[in-house]
């Protein structure tokens, strides 16, 4: 499934390399040890070009937003890290960027993802995966992302979130600066 997404997003991956590095700096949250570890592990990826060169790509170019929830941003995935194992705090599967009006991207958070069927097969006791003690949420199928059932956890390591560091949506992230695609 993710290999298909990689092939269909090949052109987008090259487009990411063409984007200017983010000039703006996100406003990181307080002194949570969890978030400090995430920031340390992902600091190099504040420049989206570095992420693209390291194998990360955007499944699609759209910024995820909700009518009353705030936004999540543009999800940039590293499929090599997605599986059924307990995620490591230093290896998020998804980087989340906020698009800027000049075409750059600002790293605002990360998302941890575990394929539910793979996890459940390895853990018949019904346990839920955790990231450094934080429970992950089940997103069943069908879902708006077109993914199989997954466990997920957002961590807003680079942008404050008044709803909490691990809430799905962030009112301090916006998709309004993303340029609209040209239509023929």
HEC letters along 47-58: CHHHHHHCCCEE
For residue 11, is pLDDT > 50? no
For residue 24, is pLDDT > 50? no
Distances (CA, A) of 40 to 21, 28, 43, 168: 19, 12, 5, 21
For residue 18, is pLDDT > 50? no
Please state which of the ranges 17-21, 23-27, 137-141 shows the lowest mean pLDDT. 17-21
Query: Over pLDDT 70: what percentage of the chain?
Result: 80
Query: Over pLDDT 90: what percentage of the chain?
Result: 60
Is 154 in contact with 96 (CB distance < 8 Å)? yes
Distances (CA, A) of 133 to 33, 43, 88, 128, 136: 12, 22, 11, 11, 9
What pLDDT score does 174 carry? 92
The enclosing H or E element of 41 equals helix 33-42
What pLDDT score does 114 carry? 95
Structure-token match 């992302």, residue found = 145
pTM: 0.82
| Alpha-carbon span 163 to 159, nearest angstrom | 12
């Amino acid at each position: 499934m993710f290999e298909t997404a990689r092939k269909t997003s090949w052109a987008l991956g090259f487009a990411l390399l063409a984007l200017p590095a983010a000039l703006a700096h996100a406003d990181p949250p307080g002194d949570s040890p969890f978030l400090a570890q995430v920031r340390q592990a992902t600091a190099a990826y504040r420049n989206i070009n570095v992420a693209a060169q390291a194998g990360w790509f955007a499944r699609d170019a759209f910024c995820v937003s909700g009518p009353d929830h705030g936004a999540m941003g543009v999800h940039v995935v590293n499929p090599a890290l997605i599986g059924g194992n307990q995620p490591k705090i230093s290896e998020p599967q998804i980087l989340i960027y906020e698009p800027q009006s000049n075409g750059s991207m600002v790293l605002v958070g990360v998302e941890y993802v575990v394929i539910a069927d793979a996890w459940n097969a390895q853990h018949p006791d019904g346990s839920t995966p955790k990231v450094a003690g934080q429970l992950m949420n089940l997103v069943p199928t069908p879902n708006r992302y077109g993914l199989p059932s997954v466990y997920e956890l957002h961590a807003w390591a680079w942008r404050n979130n008044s709803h909490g560091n691990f809430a799905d949506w962030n009112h301090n992230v916006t998709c309004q600066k993303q340029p609209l695609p040209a239509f023929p």
